[in-house]
Amino acid sequence: MEAVISGNIRPGFEAVREAFAQNFEKRNEVGASVAVVRNGQYLVDLWGGWADEERTRPWEADTIVNVWSTTKGFVSLGAHMLIDRGQLELDKPVADYWPEFAQAGKGEITVRQLMSHRAGLAGWAEPVTEDLMYDWAKLCEMLAAQEPFWEPDTQSGYHALTFAHLVGELVRRIDGRPIEEFIREEITDPLKADMFIGVQPEDDHRVADLCTTLDAPPPQNPSQVKSEPEETEADAGEGSASEVSQLMLRALGNPFVGPKVANSTAWRRGVFPSANGHGNARGIAATYGTIAAGGTFGKIQMFTPEVIERMREEQPTSRDLVISADGEEMTWGMGYMVNKQKWYGPNPRALHHGGYGGSLGFCDPETGIAFGYAMNAMNVSTLVKDKRAVVLLKAVYKSL
């Protein structure tokens, strides 16, 4: 059954529509949306395919889907808005805002280290069971009490599941609102952007089901993964490969959440903002569009232009302990990845953050463009550089 593609493009952006269609024809896309924004105007707004693996529900203009870690870009923006207002400072200790965080020798960890994944808290030390997954207070209490897994600020290690609890709790301590409320009231509602951390029952009919259909093996439950890999030394030069493997399991698999859990009502209703935002390309592109345009979207002023440079303050380029399994180096900014390796387009100073399976938020302040991509066919073979997003962005740059 051929996928039907709907939506609009500005003249000159036909290459993006063609690339989007080819993702369905050649790359096993099931359902997806893609959007490109510049100066508050949509240059591309496309959607197509199906909202379920059985291909019985068409993907509609307002379909939303779990975008996993693409949600972190919204959490980071919330923190940057507080920095912009003078309420949060990057080089102050986290404990100045969250006193309990000083436990276990963490009193000197700074907000900068937290936002650049260099705080050593890439996962929970204790098991996060199903009954704890949505207990915000308990999960934050556990993070405040535990020791870092490595010496803070010596290396980066992607805080895959803990990032939004750490940064979100900072926002809550300063502003008083839970992070999901802050994002809704300060970011997505003003922009009329579809992005929800905690889907309400009235929006259930809009949610696409995640499915694993691309040519890759399904993700393994960490309990089934051998703790001793074949190598004897870690590429990073610190610790054994076994220790790095255990860190990856803690960071990516505690709790273990795959498509089956993510399709559950509990996950959709819950608040786990490192990974359970539900949105579409239009909402992602609008939010990143405010960054690309220096804090504005149309007539809406969200923050000052200084935020852009602060976001892309490059931290040391290195092999990340969690997501550089192939040894490739990467560059973190403040809550976002900096495109120094040119994974997405030619600008090494562009910003991006993607999600497990393939979704992506991206902006290039030099050209003024922002890009959003959301889909339900998960590529579980990589956490970055999903081919579908890469070819779409290549077509965007070709069209500029």
Instruction: Name the CATH superfamily, with its identifier, for domain 5-399.
Output: DD-peptidase/beta-lactamase superfamily (3.40.710.10)
Task: State how far Cα 305 lies from the chain centre.
Answer: 22
Q: Give the model's pLDDT for residue 237.
A: 39
Measured in degrees and rounded to the nearest 5, phi and psi for residue 110 equal -95, 165
Instruction: Give the span between the Cα atoms of 387 and 364, in whole angstroms.
Output: 19
Going by C-beta distance under 8 Å and a sequence separation of 6 or more, which residues neighbour residue 208?
31, 51, 52, 57, 59, 63, 64, 65, 376
Chain position carrying tokens 């990845």? 337
**If pLDDT is split at 50, 70 and 90, which confidence band does 324 have?**
confident
Average pLDDT value for the chain? 91
58: three-class secondary structure by DSSP: strand
Cβ-count burial 129-144 (b if 16+ within 10 Å, e if not): eeeebbebeebbebbb
pLDDT at 156 over 90: yes
Going by C-beta distance under 8 Å and a sequence separation of 6 or more, which residues neighbour residue 53?
30, 209, 211, 213, 376
CA dihedral 70, 71, 73, 75 (to 10 degrees): -160
Q: For residue range 344-392, what is the model confidence (pLDDT) as tens digits?
A: 999 999 999 999 999 999 999 999 999 999 999 998 776 678 999 999 9
Contact 46, 35 (CB under 8 A): yes
Q: For residue range 201-227, what is the model confidence (pLDDT) as tens digits?
A: 999 999 999 997 654 443 444 333 333
pLDDT at 232 over 50: no
SS (H, E, C) 351-384: EEEECCECCEEEEECCCCEEEEEEECECECCCCC
Q: Give the model's pLDDT for residue 271.
A: 98
Q: Give the model's pLDDT for residue 260.
A: 87
Q: Give the model's pLDDT for residue 242.
A: 57
Instruction: Give the span between the Cα atoms of 345 and 339, in whole angstroms.
Output: 8
Q: For residue range 158-193, what is the model confidence (pLDDT) as tens digits?
A: 999 999 999 999 999 999 999 999 999 999 999 999
Instruction: Give the span between the Cα atoms of 68 and 278, in whole angstroms.
Output: 8
Q: For residue range 372-383, what is the model confidence (pLDDT) as tens digits?
A: 999 999 987 766
Q: Give the model's pLDDT for residue 214.
A: 58
The DSSP bridge pattern shows strands 41-49 and 300-301 to be unpaired
How many CB atoms sit inside 10 A of residue 56's CB? 8
What's the whole-number mean pLDDT along residues 95-116?
Answer: 98
Burial-class residue 68 by CB neighbours within 10 Å (0-12, 13-18, 19+). Answer: buried
Instruction: Give the span between the Cα atoms of 288 and 265, in whole angstroms.
Output: 28
Contact 395, 15 (CB under 8 A): yes
Give the Å distances, CA to CA, from 319 to 120, 231, 238, 316, 324: 15, 17, 11, 10, 6
pLDDT at 231 over 50: no
The full set of domain ranges for the chain reads 5-399
For the chain, give the percent of residues with pLDDT over 70. Answer: 91
pLDDT at 41 over 80: yes
